[in-house]
Amino acid sequence: MRERTEPSCYARGVMVQPRVRSIVKRLALAVLVLFVLLQFVPRGRGHSNPPVTGEPPWDSPATRETFMLVCGDCHSNETQWPWYSHVAPISWLVEEDVEDGRGHFNVSAWDEGPGHADEAAEEYGEGEMPLWFYTPLHPSGVLSPEDRGAFIEGLKATFGGEEHEAGEHEAGE
């Protein structure tokens, strides 16, 4: 009696046409080649940490330490560049986020002005910062509710905010 064998075009009980397998292989090869070629695009490779030229008058060392842990990668010149920040196209996104963050406000260039630092407590308190994809990649930046509350108060004391500004407007009238 002759033993029945499955043709080579069966994969896990589902028939896969040889033409489809060929297309999938070519597509995978094209994606791999594109990925390798992207590594030669210079964007996202110029990771720099300019010198610290000034810092805000922190209300406490704890606020500064927490800020550098949670916000410092994007809002200071002391960015910790992780391994994936050297792999295109992710490197392009990381570099752009750091540039945007430093442009919004930079605690390492405080002598150039506070920028939008007065919005830090509000944006952090409302969950707008850090960006949604930052904390899964940096779990050390996730704070307990108690630490979170203390950090928000520290941000308000250091940078001001809505409550701080309201007090200044009332005093100035």
Binned at pLDDT 50, 70 and 90, residue 14 comes out as low
- Give pTM, 2 decimals: 0.72
**Whether the Cβ atoms of residue 159 and residue 121 lie closer than 8 Å to each other:** yes
83-121 pLDDT tens trace = 888 888 888 889 999 999 999 999 999 999 999 999 999
DSSP codes joined into one string, 110-153: GGG--TTGGGHHHHHHTT-SS-TTHHHH-GGGPPPHHHHHHHHH
- pLDDT band of residue 75 (cuts 50, 70, 90) is very high
Number of neighbouring beta carbons within 10 Å of residue 39: 13
| Range scoring the smallest mean pLDDT among 32-41, 60-69, 83-92, 150-159 | 32-41
Q: Which residue has the tokens 């509710």?
A: 145
Which alpha helices (DSSP H) does the chain contain, by range? Answer: 18-38, 61-70, 72-75, 90-104, 120-125, 134-137, 145-159, 162-172
Handedness of CA 89, 77, 135, 163 (dihedral sign): negative
- The overall average pLDDT reported for the chain is 84
- Residues 6 or more apart in contact with residue 72 via CB below 8 angstroms: 78, 79, 80, 107
- How far is residue 25's CA from residue 31's CA, in Å, rounded to a whole number? 10
Q: Are 30 and 40 in contact (CB under 8 A)?
A: no
For residue 164, what pLDDT is reported? Answer: 43
